[in-house]
């Protein structure tokens, strides 16, 4: 069984992620979709306890909170009704807490094969200082994450761009990438972005791509070298130029000060690309 976790906040992007997840059932023999909604608890809220010692907001019994819970439960019942009787299992889950922490806990508990998340993207100071829950999940998840902004049909995923420098051994990533390619029966575009700050000859770049493709027996692959001012811009531009259906990337999962100063190309691409982005954290 292929298990898919869909964090869901009732936004248009989250609905696009859920629709894509449901359509993935056509690609697998058996699919289970878990839809997770997190009701955010403000960090400054007072906390009380209920039976069993569980910590809950002390305003839980206030009218607005009861109405919110009832509304979300009703919305999820309607979702369950709409998805009943299809060729995939479907369940919903509502939790209280911090969105990122709750999603991370659900990834550990559910152990999905794939997380599919909607993303609105961010820019400017919001991007620098806060980032998005999607970016944080991309950085930390032990399983692949597929990020979705616009509506997308997985049946049409026939061009996948895999951007890398191809310098490291990537055994696990290569295996995941080949599975992804097989799921969608897609052509794989192996691309190195050449920038002014890290320029190298086409011959050097092409040799590394060829070595990667041969080592991991990548079939139906096209080697590409693309020139741009930055890696992130080059990946997004190349995907647009060839009208790719998906971008695939690795992330190192850095956090703290290292992440603050170095950032993450994968997270930047997730934030700015219009097309779906598949990421996998390498160790």
* Angle separating helix axes 133-140 and 265-272, nearest 10 degrees: 140
As a whole number of angstroms, the distance between CA 78 and CA 73 comes to: 9
User: Where does 2-147 sit in CATH, by number?
Assistant: 3.40.50.620
Fold of 158-244: Rossmann fold (3.40.50)
In order of 93, 114, 117, 249, the CA distances from 128 in angstroms are 31, 27, 21, 21
* pLDDT of 29 over the 60 cut: yes
The confidence band for 63, taking pLDDT boundaries of 50, 70 and 90, is confident
**pLDDT of amino acid 157:** 95
pLDDT for the residue numbered 205? 95
- CA separation, residue 103 to residues 5, 46, 73, 93, 100 (Å): 9, 22, 18, 11, 5
* Number of helical H runs and strand E runs in the chain: 10, 12
Q: Please report which confidence band the pLDDT of residue 52 belongs to, taking 50, 70 and 90 as the band edges.
A: very low
| pLDDT for the residue numbered 283 | 73
Mean pLDDT of 107-117: 96
**Reported confidence tier of residue 62, pLDDT bands at 50, 70, 90:** low
Cα–Cα distance for residue pair 68/48, rounded to 1 Å: 19
* Confidence band, pLDDT 50/70/90 cuts, at residue 51: very low
| CATH 3.40.50.620 domain residues, the chain | 2-147, 158-244
pTM: 0.87
Give pLDDT, residue 221: 96
What integer pLDDT is reported at residue 127 of this predicted model?
A: 37
Q: Are 19 and 151 in contact (CB under 8 A)?
A: yes
* pLDDT tens digits for range 153-186: 999 999 999 999 998 788 989 999 999 999 999 9
């Amino acid at each position: 069984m292929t298990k898919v976790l869909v964090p869901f906040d009732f936004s248009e992007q989250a609905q696009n992620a859920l629709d894509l997840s449901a359509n993935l059932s056509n690609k697998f023999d058996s699919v289970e979709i878990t839809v997770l909604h997190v009701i955010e608890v403000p960090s400054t809220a007072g906390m009380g306890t209920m039976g069993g010692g569980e910590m809950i907001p002390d305003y839980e019994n206030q009218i607005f909170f009861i109405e919110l819970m009832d509304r979300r439960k009703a919305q999820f019942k309607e979702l369950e009704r709409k998805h009943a009787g299809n060729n995939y299992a479907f369940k919903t889950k509502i939790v209280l807490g911090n969105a990122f922490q709750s999603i991370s806990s659900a990834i550990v508990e559910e152990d999905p094969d794939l997380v599919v998340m909607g993303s609105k993207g961010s820019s400017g100071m919001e991007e620098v200082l806060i980032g998005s829950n999607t970016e944080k999940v991309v950085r930390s998840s032990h399983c692949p994450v597929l990020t979705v902004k616009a509506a997308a049909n997985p049946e049409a995923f026939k061009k996948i761009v895999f951007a890398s420098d191809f310098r490291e051994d990537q055994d696990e990533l290569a295996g995941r990438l080949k599975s992804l390619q097989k799921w969608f029966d897609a052509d794989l575009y192996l691309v190195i972005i050449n920038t002014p700050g890290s320029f190298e000859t086409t011959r050097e770049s092409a040799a590394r791509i060829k070595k990667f493709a041969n080592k991991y027996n990548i079939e139906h692959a096209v080697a590409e070298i693309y020139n741009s001012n930055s890696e992130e811009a080059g990946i997004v531009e190349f995907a647009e130029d060839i009208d790719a259906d998906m971008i695939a990337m690795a992330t190192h999962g850095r956090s703290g000060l290292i992440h603050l100063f170095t950032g993450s190309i994968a997270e930047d691409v997730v934030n700015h690309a219009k097309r779906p982005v598949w990421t996998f954290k390498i160790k």
